Structure 1
C-alpha cells in the first residue's frame, strides 16, 4: 500500500487558519477509475482511496504508517512568509 502524508492547505476563501495544522494520511488509488455504464459516474472498486486519516503532527502520521507497514511519502510544505505592509508605505 502506498500513501502520502501532507499538511492540509489553508482555505483560500477565508483568512483563518483553522484545521491548517492537521496532517493527513491519504492512500494512493490502487485501481484506475472507470465510467459506470448505466449512470456514467466515475468510480472504482478500491475502497482505500476513500480513506483519509487525520493526525495532529507529522511524527504521529509517520509512526502510524511505520506501525502498519504503509509505504508513505511525506510532502512537507515550505514555511509561510508574511509580507507585512502598512498603508503609509504607499506614500514613501
Structure 2
C-alpha cells in the first residue's frame, strides 16, 4: 500500500486559497470496496484509508514517510495562474475579452 503525497486543489465553489497551501499524505487502498446491501455505501475493512495527515512542506511529508518506512508517491500540483480583477472590470466599455454567456 502506497502513501500518496499531494497538494489539494482549492474548491471550485469559492475563490479562497485557504486549504491549498499545505501538503497531504493519504494511503491508497489495494483492496476493492464492497457495497453495503443495507445503505448502498462503499465499505472497506482497511482503516488506513481514513488517515489524512497534513504537512506544511513537501519535504516534511517525504521525511515522515521515509522515517516510518512507508513506500510513497508524490503527485505534483499545477498552480493555476490567477488574474486579479475587480468586479467593475466586467462592465468596462473597452473590454478585451468577449462575454462568455
Place the TM-score, normalised by the shorter chain, in its bin.
0.7 to 0.9
Match of 1:90 among 75, 88, 95: 95
Report deviation, 1:11. Answer: 1.4
Shift in alpha-carbon separation, 1:40–1:78, aligned structure 2, 3 A: closer
Write the deviation string for residues 24-81 of structure 1: whole angstroms up to 9, x where unpaired. Answer: 0010013111112344332010000111111111110000010111111111112322
Alignment coverage as a number of residue pairs: 91
Number of the residue aligned with 2:53:
53
Number of the residue aligned with 1:5:
5
**Structure having the higher Rg:** 2
Q: Which is strand-richer, 1 or 2?
A: 1
> TM-score by structure 2 length?
0.77
Question: How is 1:15-54 mapped onto 2 (pairs within 5 angstroms)?
Answer: 15-54=15-54
What stretches of structure 1 of length at least 5 have no aligned partner?
none
CA distance in 1, matches of 2:76, 2:41: 33
What stretches of structure 2 of length at least 5 have no aligned partner?
97-101
Task: Give the 3-state SS of the residue equivalent to 2:95 in structure 1.
Answer: helix
- Aligned-residue Cα RMSD (Å) equals 2.0
